[in-house]
Structure 1
Amino acid sequence: MAIWAAVFSFLFVLTAKETKAIEADLSSHLVAITAGFSGDRILLFGSINSPGEVIVVVRGPDTDFKVQRKGQVAGIWMNTASMKFESVPSFYSIASTGPIEEISSSATRALNAIGFDNIGLELPVTKAAGKLADDWKDALLRNLLRSGNYQLENAEIVFLGEHLFRTEFELPANVPTGTYSVSVYHLRDGQIIDARTTPLTVSKIGVEAEIYDYAHLHSAMYGIIAIVVALVSGWIGHLIFRKG
Protein backbone atom coordinates (compact mmCIF):
# COMPACT_ATOMS: atom_id res chain seq x y z
CA MET A 1 0.00 0.00 0.00
CA ALA A 2 2.84 2.42 0.85
CA ILE A 3 4.48 1.74 -2.53
CA TRP A 4 1.23 2.57 -4.34
CA ALA A 5 0.91 5.79 -2.35
CA ALA A 6 4.43 6.86 -3.30
CA VAL A 7 3.97 6.00 -6.98
CA PHE A 8 0.62 7.76 -7.34
CA SER A 9 1.77 10.77 -5.35
CA PHE A 10 4.76 11.18 -7.69
CA LEU A 11 2.64 10.87 -10.82
CA PHE A 12 -0.05 13.28 -9.68
CA VAL A 13 2.46 15.89 -8.53
CA LEU A 14 4.01 15.80 -12.02
CA THR A 15 0.62 16.39 -13.65
CA ALA A 16 -0.54 19.07 -11.22
CA LYS A 17 0.87 21.78 -13.50
CA GLU A 18 -1.42 20.73 -16.34
CA THR A 19 -4.69 22.52 -16.99
CA LYS A 20 -6.87 19.57 -16.00
CA ALA A 21 -8.75 20.33 -12.79
CA ILE A 22 -8.77 16.72 -11.61
CA GLU A 23 -6.85 13.49 -12.20
CA ALA A 24 -7.66 10.06 -10.79
CA ASP A 25 -6.80 6.40 -11.25
CA LEU A 26 -7.30 3.02 -9.58
CA SER A 27 -4.67 0.82 -7.96
CA SER A 28 -5.99 -1.99 -10.20
CA HIS A 29 -8.47 -2.09 -13.07
CA LEU A 30 -9.28 -5.79 -12.63
CA VAL A 31 -10.97 -7.62 -9.76
CA ALA A 32 -10.44 -11.35 -10.30
CA ILE A 33 -13.06 -13.62 -8.76
CA THR A 34 -11.71 -17.08 -7.98
CA ALA A 35 -13.14 -19.98 -6.00
CA GLY A 36 -11.87 -18.50 -2.74
CA PHE A 37 -12.99 -14.93 -3.40
CA SER A 38 -14.33 -13.27 -0.23
CA GLY A 39 -14.54 -9.66 -1.34
CA ASP A 40 -12.01 -6.97 -2.18
CA ARG A 41 -11.11 -3.32 -1.67
CA ILE A 42 -10.60 -0.88 -4.52
CA LEU A 43 -8.12 1.92 -3.89
CA LEU A 44 -8.45 5.19 -5.80
CA PHE A 45 -5.91 8.03 -5.82
CA GLY A 46 -6.45 11.45 -7.30
CA SER A 47 -5.35 15.05 -7.45
CA ILE A 48 -7.09 18.41 -7.83
CA ASN A 49 -5.24 21.54 -8.90
CA SER A 50 -7.59 24.02 -7.19
CA PRO A 51 -9.80 24.13 -4.07
CA GLY A 52 -13.14 22.36 -4.17
CA GLU A 53 -15.05 19.23 -3.22
CA VAL A 54 -14.75 15.71 -4.63
CA ILE A 55 -17.37 13.01 -5.23
CA VAL A 56 -16.54 9.51 -6.47
CA VAL A 57 -19.28 7.21 -7.78
CA VAL A 58 -18.77 3.51 -8.51
CA ARG A 59 -21.57 2.06 -10.62
CA GLY A 60 -21.94 -1.55 -11.71
CA PRO A 61 -23.39 -2.74 -15.03
CA ASP A 62 -27.14 -2.30 -15.42
CA THR A 63 -29.34 -5.33 -14.95
CA ASP A 64 -32.97 -6.25 -14.23
CA PHE A 65 -34.21 -6.99 -10.71
CA LYS A 66 -37.40 -8.78 -9.70
CA VAL A 67 -38.95 -7.99 -6.30
CA GLN A 68 -41.40 -10.39 -4.69
CA ARG A 69 -44.12 -9.49 -2.19
CA LYS A 70 -45.28 -12.11 0.29
CA GLY A 71 -48.77 -12.47 1.71
CA GLN A 72 -50.91 -14.96 3.58
CA VAL A 73 -53.13 -17.24 1.54
CA ALA A 74 -55.21 -19.69 3.57
CA GLY A 75 -52.81 -19.20 6.47
CA ILE A 76 -49.70 -19.92 4.34
CA TRP A 77 -47.09 -17.29 3.50
CA MET A 78 -46.30 -17.21 -0.21
CA ASN A 79 -45.37 -14.82 -3.02
CA THR A 80 -48.52 -12.94 -3.96
CA ALA A 81 -47.15 -10.19 -6.22
CA SER A 82 -43.97 -9.25 -8.06
CA MET A 83 -42.45 -6.24 -9.76
CA LYS A 84 -39.64 -6.08 -12.31
CA PHE A 85 -37.23 -3.15 -12.35
CA GLU A 86 -35.35 -2.74 -15.62
CA SER A 87 -31.82 -1.38 -16.23
CA VAL A 88 -30.91 -0.84 -12.59
CA PRO A 89 -27.24 -0.54 -11.50
CA SER A 90 -26.13 -3.88 -10.08
CA PHE A 91 -23.70 -2.08 -7.75
CA TYR A 92 -23.68 1.48 -6.43
CA SER A 93 -21.40 3.23 -3.97
CA ILE A 94 -20.34 6.81 -3.30
CA ALA A 95 -17.37 8.49 -1.64
CA SER A 96 -17.31 12.24 -0.97
CA THR A 97 -15.53 14.98 0.93
CA GLY A 98 -18.81 15.91 2.61
CA PRO A 99 -22.56 15.20 2.55
CA ILE A 100 -23.52 15.18 -1.12
CA GLU A 101 -26.64 17.27 -0.41
CA GLU A 102 -24.37 20.05 0.90
CA ILE A 103 -21.54 19.99 -1.64
CA SER A 104 -23.62 19.54 -4.82
CA SER A 105 -26.84 21.04 -6.14
CA SER A 106 -29.92 18.92 -6.73
CA ALA A 107 -29.72 19.68 -10.46
CA THR A 108 -26.11 18.50 -10.58
CA ARG A 109 -26.96 15.26 -8.82
CA ALA A 110 -29.93 14.58 -11.09
CA LEU A 111 -27.98 15.30 -14.28
CA ASN A 112 -25.09 13.00 -13.29
CA ALA A 113 -27.07 10.22 -11.55
CA ILE A 114 -25.50 10.92 -8.17
CA GLY A 115 -27.38 9.48 -5.20
CA PHE A 116 -30.03 6.79 -4.81
CA ASP A 117 -32.80 9.15 -5.92
CA ASN A 118 -31.17 9.69 -9.31
CA ILE A 119 -30.04 6.28 -10.56
CA GLY A 120 -33.16 5.07 -12.33
CA LEU A 121 -35.10 3.18 -9.68
CA GLU A 122 -38.37 4.84 -10.61
CA LEU A 123 -41.16 2.70 -12.05
CA PRO A 124 -43.20 3.71 -15.11
CA VAL A 125 -46.69 4.86 -14.13
CA THR A 126 -48.07 2.01 -16.23
CA LYS A 127 -46.58 -0.41 -13.68
CA ALA A 128 -47.16 1.46 -10.44
CA ALA A 129 -47.61 5.02 -9.21
CA GLY A 130 -47.77 6.99 -5.98
CA LYS A 131 -47.30 5.17 -2.69
CA LEU A 132 -47.41 1.77 -4.35
CA ALA A 133 -44.43 2.66 -6.55
CA ASP A 134 -42.56 4.02 -3.52
CA ASP A 135 -43.21 0.78 -1.62
CA TRP A 136 -41.77 -1.32 -4.46
CA LYS A 137 -38.76 0.99 -4.75
CA ASP A 138 -38.12 0.80 -0.99
CA ALA A 139 -38.31 -2.99 -1.14
CA LEU A 140 -35.75 -3.10 -3.96
CA LEU A 141 -33.39 -0.78 -2.07
CA ARG A 142 -33.68 -2.91 1.08
CA ASN A 143 -32.72 -6.01 -0.89
CA LEU A 144 -29.75 -4.32 -2.55
CA LEU A 145 -28.52 -2.76 0.70
CA ARG A 146 -28.84 -6.11 2.47
CA SER A 147 -26.73 -7.80 -0.21
CA GLY A 148 -23.94 -5.22 0.23
CA ASN A 149 -24.04 -4.25 -3.44
CA TYR A 150 -25.60 -0.89 -2.56
CA GLN A 151 -23.82 1.00 0.22
CA LEU A 152 -25.84 3.56 2.13
CA GLU A 153 -22.97 5.24 3.98
CA ASN A 154 -20.66 7.36 1.84
CA ALA A 155 -17.02 6.27 1.93
CA GLU A 156 -14.57 8.89 3.17
CA ILE A 157 -12.22 10.78 0.86
CA VAL A 158 -8.96 11.62 2.64
CA PHE A 159 -6.68 14.42 1.45
CA LEU A 160 -2.93 13.79 1.60
CA GLY A 161 -1.79 17.38 1.61
CA GLU A 162 -3.41 20.21 -0.34
CA HIS A 163 -3.99 18.46 -3.67
CA LEU A 164 -3.72 14.66 -3.37
CA PHE A 165 -6.61 12.52 -2.15
CA ARG A 166 -7.47 8.86 -1.79
CA THR A 167 -10.44 6.67 -0.98
CA GLU A 168 -11.37 2.99 -0.82
CA PHE A 169 -14.44 1.03 -1.87
CA GLU A 170 -15.58 -2.29 -0.43
CA LEU A 171 -16.70 -5.02 -2.84
CA PRO A 172 -18.69 -7.87 -1.20
CA ALA A 173 -18.11 -11.54 -1.92
CA ASN A 174 -21.25 -11.67 -4.09
CA VAL A 175 -20.28 -8.66 -6.21
CA PRO A 176 -21.74 -8.91 -9.73
CA THR A 177 -19.36 -9.40 -12.65
CA GLY A 178 -19.05 -7.01 -15.56
CA THR A 179 -17.59 -3.62 -16.45
CA TYR A 180 -17.99 -0.93 -13.80
CA SER A 181 -17.61 2.83 -14.20
CA VAL A 182 -15.71 4.83 -11.59
CA SER A 183 -16.56 8.51 -11.99
CA VAL A 184 -14.67 11.24 -10.12
CA TYR A 185 -16.16 14.74 -9.93
CA HIS A 186 -14.47 17.97 -8.89
CA LEU A 187 -17.04 20.49 -7.64
CA ARG A 188 -17.07 24.13 -6.64
CA ASP A 189 -20.14 26.00 -5.34
CA GLY A 190 -22.24 22.90 -5.94
CA GLN A 191 -21.36 22.64 -9.63
CA ILE A 192 -19.06 20.20 -11.42
CA ILE A 193 -16.01 21.90 -12.92
CA ASP A 194 -14.26 18.73 -14.11
CA ALA A 195 -14.79 14.97 -14.15
CA ARG A 196 -12.96 11.77 -14.99
CA THR A 197 -14.39 8.27 -15.59
CA THR A 198 -12.32 5.10 -15.62
CA PRO A 199 -13.48 1.49 -16.14
CA LEU A 200 -13.16 -1.33 -13.62
CA THR A 201 -13.60 -4.95 -14.68
CA VAL A 202 -14.94 -7.56 -12.26
CA SER A 203 -14.49 -11.01 -13.79
CA LYS A 204 -14.47 -14.66 -12.86
CA ILE A 205 -11.22 -16.49 -13.69
CA GLY A 206 -9.92 -20.06 -13.45
CA VAL A 207 -12.09 -23.15 -13.02
CA GLU A 208 -15.03 -21.14 -11.67
CA ALA A 209 -15.09 -19.03 -14.84
CA GLU A 210 -15.05 -22.16 -17.03
CA ILE A 211 -17.95 -23.70 -15.09
CA TYR A 212 -19.89 -20.43 -15.25
CA ASP A 213 -19.40 -20.12 -19.01
CA TYR A 214 -20.31 -23.76 -19.61
CA ALA A 215 -23.48 -23.42 -17.51
CA HIS A 216 -24.63 -20.44 -19.61
CA LEU A 217 -23.60 -21.81 -23.01
CA HIS A 218 -24.85 -25.37 -22.42
CA SER A 219 -27.54 -24.93 -19.78
CA ALA A 220 -29.40 -28.17 -20.60
CA MET A 221 -26.31 -30.36 -20.42
CA TYR A 222 -25.11 -28.55 -17.28
CA GLY A 223 -28.46 -29.31 -15.63
CA ILE A 224 -28.21 -33.00 -16.53
CA ILE A 225 -24.64 -33.20 -15.20
CA ALA A 226 -25.69 -31.48 -11.96
CA ILE A 227 -28.52 -33.97 -11.45
CA VAL A 228 -26.22 -36.94 -12.14
CA VAL A 229 -23.59 -35.62 -9.71
CA ALA A 230 -26.24 -35.10 -7.03
CA LEU A 231 -27.61 -38.65 -7.50
CA VAL A 232 -24.15 -40.24 -7.42
CA SER A 233 -23.19 -38.24 -4.31
CA GLY A 234 -26.40 -39.30 -2.58
CA TRP A 235 -25.83 -42.96 -3.53
CA ILE A 236 -22.22 -42.90 -2.25
CA GLY A 237 -23.37 -41.26 0.98
CA HIS A 238 -26.05 -43.92 1.39
CA LEU A 239 -23.47 -46.69 0.96
CA ILE A 240 -21.12 -45.12 3.51
CA PHE A 241 -23.79 -44.68 6.17
CA ARG A 242 -25.23 -48.17 5.52
CA LYS A 243 -21.84 -49.73 6.12
CA GLY A 244 -21.42 -47.64 9.27
Structure 2
Amino acid sequence: MMYRKLTRGFGLLILLAMSASPSLAMEDEIQGLMLIIEQRLEDPAARQEAMRAGRNRALLCSYCHGNDGNSVKPDVPNLAGQNPVYLLDQIGKFARGERKNFVMNSLAKDFTLDDKVNLAIYFARQTVKARPQDEALAASGKRLYAQRCVGCHGERGHGTAEYARLAGQRPAYLRLTLERFRAYDRGEQQAAENVRRSPIMESIAARLSDENIEVLAAYLAGLE
Protein backbone atom coordinates (compact mmCIF):
# COMPACT_ATOMS: atom_id res chain seq x y z
CA MET A 1 0.00 0.00 0.00
CA MET A 2 2.80 2.43 0.95
CA TYR A 3 4.62 1.72 -2.34
CA ARG A 4 1.48 2.43 -4.42
CA LYS A 5 0.99 5.74 -2.61
CA LEU A 6 4.64 6.66 -3.16
CA THR A 7 4.59 5.88 -6.86
CA ARG A 8 1.35 7.82 -7.41
CA GLY A 9 2.78 10.81 -5.57
CA PHE A 10 6.04 10.58 -7.50
CA GLY A 11 4.20 10.45 -10.82
CA LEU A 12 2.20 13.56 -9.99
CA LEU A 13 5.33 15.47 -9.03
CA ILE A 14 7.01 14.52 -12.30
CA LEU A 15 3.98 15.62 -14.33
CA LEU A 16 4.00 18.96 -12.52
CA ALA A 17 7.73 19.29 -13.10
CA MET A 18 7.36 18.74 -16.83
CA SER A 19 5.14 21.82 -17.10
CA ALA A 20 7.58 24.04 -15.22
CA SER A 21 10.75 25.80 -16.32
CA PRO A 22 13.88 23.57 -16.55
CA SER A 23 15.33 24.83 -13.25
CA LEU A 24 12.01 24.54 -11.42
CA ALA A 25 11.43 21.13 -12.98
CA MET A 26 14.75 19.92 -11.60
CA GLU A 27 13.94 21.28 -8.15
CA ASP A 28 10.52 19.60 -8.20
CA GLU A 29 12.02 16.31 -9.33
CA ILE A 30 14.61 16.37 -6.54
CA GLN A 31 11.89 17.17 -4.01
CA GLY A 32 9.89 14.22 -5.30
CA LEU A 33 12.84 11.88 -4.92
CA MET A 34 13.50 13.21 -1.41
CA LEU A 35 9.90 12.46 -0.45
CA ILE A 36 10.18 8.85 -1.62
CA ILE A 37 13.43 8.27 0.25
CA GLU A 38 12.25 9.98 3.44
CA GLN A 39 9.02 7.99 3.59
CA ARG A 40 10.87 4.74 3.07
CA LEU A 41 13.38 5.57 5.81
CA GLU A 42 10.84 6.79 8.35
CA ASP A 43 9.25 3.34 8.67
CA PRO A 44 11.66 0.93 10.44
CA ALA A 45 10.17 -2.12 8.75
CA ALA A 46 10.29 -0.46 5.31
CA ARG A 47 13.87 0.68 5.94
CA GLN A 48 14.95 -2.81 6.92
CA GLU A 49 13.27 -4.30 3.85
CA ALA A 50 14.89 -1.66 1.63
CA MET A 51 18.32 -2.63 2.96
CA ARG A 52 17.66 -6.34 2.41
CA ALA A 53 16.28 -5.87 -1.09
CA GLY A 54 18.96 -3.32 -1.96
CA ARG A 55 21.72 -5.69 -0.88
CA ASN A 56 20.29 -8.40 -3.13
CA ARG A 57 19.96 -6.07 -6.11
CA ALA A 58 23.49 -4.75 -5.50
CA LEU A 59 24.82 -8.13 -6.64
CA LEU A 60 24.15 -6.89 -10.18
CA CYS A 61 26.40 -3.90 -9.48
CA SER A 62 29.17 -5.66 -7.57
CA TYR A 63 31.35 -6.54 -10.57
CA CYS A 64 32.18 -2.85 -10.99
CA HIS A 65 31.02 -1.07 -7.83
CA GLY A 66 31.78 -3.77 -5.26
CA ASN A 67 29.38 -5.49 -2.88
CA ASP A 68 29.41 -2.52 -0.50
CA GLY A 69 29.60 0.29 -3.05
CA ASN A 70 33.37 0.63 -2.88
CA SER A 71 34.48 0.34 -6.48
CA VAL A 72 36.70 -2.54 -7.52
CA LYS A 73 37.77 -0.75 -10.72
CA PRO A 74 39.86 2.43 -10.69
CA ASP A 75 37.77 4.23 -13.31
CA VAL A 76 34.41 3.36 -11.73
CA PRO A 77 32.92 5.56 -8.96
CA ASN A 78 32.27 4.54 -5.38
CA LEU A 79 28.58 4.52 -4.54
CA ALA A 80 29.10 4.00 -0.81
CA GLY A 81 28.18 7.02 1.28
CA GLN A 82 26.53 8.95 -1.54
CA ASN A 83 23.37 10.90 -0.76
CA PRO A 84 20.47 8.49 -1.49
CA VAL A 85 18.50 11.15 -3.35
CA TYR A 86 21.51 11.87 -5.55
CA LEU A 87 21.91 8.15 -6.29
CA LEU A 88 18.23 7.76 -7.11
CA ASP A 89 18.41 10.77 -9.42
CA GLN A 90 21.45 9.39 -11.26
CA ILE A 91 19.88 5.94 -11.73
CA GLY A 92 16.90 7.72 -13.25
CA LYS A 93 19.16 9.66 -15.61
CA PHE A 94 20.74 6.41 -16.82
CA ALA A 95 17.28 4.86 -17.29
CA ARG A 96 16.19 7.85 -19.41
CA GLY A 97 19.46 7.98 -21.37
CA GLU A 98 20.43 11.39 -20.01
CA ARG A 99 23.68 9.80 -18.85
CA LYS A 100 25.15 7.30 -21.25
CA ASN A 101 26.93 4.09 -20.41
CA PHE A 102 25.94 0.86 -22.14
CA VAL A 103 25.92 -1.30 -19.01
CA MET A 104 24.26 1.27 -16.76
CA ASN A 105 21.65 2.24 -19.35
CA SER A 106 20.66 -1.42 -19.77
CA LEU A 107 20.50 -2.14 -16.03
CA ALA A 108 18.68 1.04 -15.07
CA LYS A 109 15.94 0.48 -17.66
CA ASP A 110 15.18 -2.90 -16.11
CA PHE A 111 15.04 -1.62 -12.53
CA THR A 112 11.62 -0.95 -11.03
CA LEU A 113 11.12 2.17 -8.92
CA ASP A 114 11.32 -0.08 -5.88
CA ASP A 115 14.67 -1.45 -7.08
CA LYS A 116 16.05 2.05 -7.57
CA VAL A 117 14.93 3.29 -4.16
CA ASN A 118 16.27 0.21 -2.38
CA LEU A 119 19.64 0.42 -4.15
CA ALA A 120 19.96 4.11 -3.32
CA ILE A 121 19.22 3.48 0.35
CA TYR A 122 21.53 0.46 0.57
CA PHE A 123 24.56 2.10 -1.03
CA ALA A 124 24.05 5.39 0.83
CA ARG A 125 24.31 3.56 4.16
CA GLN A 126 27.61 1.86 3.32
CA THR A 127 30.96 3.26 4.47
CA VAL A 128 33.30 4.58 1.82
CA LYS A 129 36.93 3.45 2.08
CA ALA A 130 39.19 6.45 1.66
CA ARG A 131 42.62 6.00 0.07
CA PRO A 132 45.19 8.46 1.51
CA GLN A 133 47.42 9.96 -1.17
CA ASP A 134 50.67 11.92 -1.29
CA GLU A 135 50.47 14.49 1.52
CA ALA A 136 52.02 17.36 -0.43
CA LEU A 137 49.65 16.85 -3.36
CA ALA A 138 46.69 16.54 -1.01
CA ALA A 139 47.61 19.80 0.76
CA SER A 140 47.66 21.65 -2.56
CA GLY A 141 44.39 19.98 -3.52
CA LYS A 142 42.76 21.10 -0.29
CA ARG A 143 43.53 24.75 -1.05
CA LEU A 144 42.25 24.45 -4.60
CA TYR A 145 39.12 22.59 -3.50
CA ALA A 146 38.28 25.39 -1.07
CA GLN A 147 38.52 27.91 -3.93
CA ARG A 148 36.66 26.05 -6.67
CA CYS A 149 34.48 23.22 -5.31
CA VAL A 150 33.32 23.74 -1.74
CA GLY A 151 30.24 25.77 -2.69
CA CYS A 152 28.47 22.81 -4.27
CA HIS A 153 30.14 19.69 -2.88
CA GLY A 154 30.50 20.86 0.72
CA GLU A 155 33.39 21.54 3.07
CA ARG A 156 34.29 17.85 3.40
CA GLY A 157 33.20 16.80 -0.08
CA HIS A 158 30.17 14.86 1.14
CA GLY A 159 27.86 16.33 -1.49
CA THR A 160 24.09 16.89 -1.33
CA ALA A 161 20.90 15.63 -2.94
CA GLU A 162 21.94 17.50 -6.10
CA TYR A 163 25.73 17.24 -6.06
CA ALA A 164 27.91 14.14 -5.83
CA ARG A 165 29.93 13.06 -2.84
CA LEU A 166 33.58 13.37 -3.88
CA ALA A 167 35.17 12.39 -0.57
CA GLY A 168 36.84 9.00 -0.77
CA GLN A 169 36.37 8.58 -4.53
CA ARG A 170 38.87 6.61 -6.57
CA PRO A 171 41.60 9.05 -7.74
CA ALA A 172 41.63 7.63 -11.27
CA TYR A 173 37.87 8.14 -11.55
CA LEU A 174 38.16 11.73 -10.29
CA ARG A 175 40.92 12.52 -12.80
CA LEU A 176 39.04 10.90 -15.68
CA THR A 177 35.79 12.70 -14.88
CA LEU A 178 37.42 16.13 -14.63
CA GLU A 179 39.36 15.52 -17.84
CA ARG A 180 36.14 14.63 -19.65
CA PHE A 181 34.36 17.75 -18.41
CA ARG A 182 37.34 19.81 -19.56
CA ALA A 183 37.33 18.10 -22.95
CA TYR A 184 33.62 18.87 -23.45
CA ASP A 185 34.26 22.55 -22.80
CA ARG A 186 37.02 22.51 -25.40
CA GLY A 187 34.76 20.82 -27.94
CA GLU A 188 36.89 17.71 -28.16
CA GLN A 189 35.20 14.52 -29.38
CA GLN A 190 34.14 12.04 -26.72
CA ALA A 191 32.94 8.44 -26.98
CA ALA A 192 29.15 8.25 -26.81
CA GLU A 193 29.21 5.87 -23.85
CA ASN A 194 31.05 8.45 -21.77
CA VAL A 195 28.47 11.21 -22.15
CA ARG A 196 27.78 13.07 -18.93
CA ARG A 197 27.18 16.75 -19.42
CA SER A 198 27.21 19.51 -16.80
CA PRO A 199 27.60 23.14 -17.89
CA ILE A 200 28.74 24.12 -14.39
CA MET A 201 31.38 21.41 -14.15
CA GLU A 202 32.55 21.98 -17.71
CA SER A 203 33.15 25.67 -17.05
CA ILE A 204 35.05 24.89 -13.84
CA ALA A 205 37.11 22.07 -15.38
CA ALA A 206 38.03 24.32 -18.32
CA ARG A 207 40.19 26.36 -15.93
CA LEU A 208 41.97 23.35 -14.43
CA SER A 209 45.45 22.31 -15.51
CA ASP A 210 46.63 18.70 -15.42
CA GLU A 211 48.43 19.53 -12.19
CA ASN A 212 45.25 21.03 -10.70
CA ILE A 213 43.35 17.85 -11.51
CA GLU A 214 46.08 15.70 -10.00
CA VAL A 215 46.11 17.54 -6.67
CA LEU A 216 42.33 17.66 -6.41
CA ALA A 217 42.15 13.90 -6.96
CA ALA A 218 44.83 13.34 -4.32
CA TYR A 219 43.00 15.45 -1.76
CA LEU A 220 39.51 14.08 -2.37
CA ALA A 221 40.55 10.42 -2.49
CA GLY A 222 41.87 10.69 1.06
CA LEU A 223 38.77 12.28 2.61
CA GLU A 224 36.37 10.22 4.68
TM-score calculated relative to the size of structure 1? 0.24
Q: Indicate the structure (1 or 2) with the bigger Cα radius of gyration.
A: 1
Higher helix share: 2
TM-score calculated relative to the size of structure 2? 0.26
Q: Which has the higher contact order (CA 8 A, sep 6+)?
A: 1
Higher strand share: 1
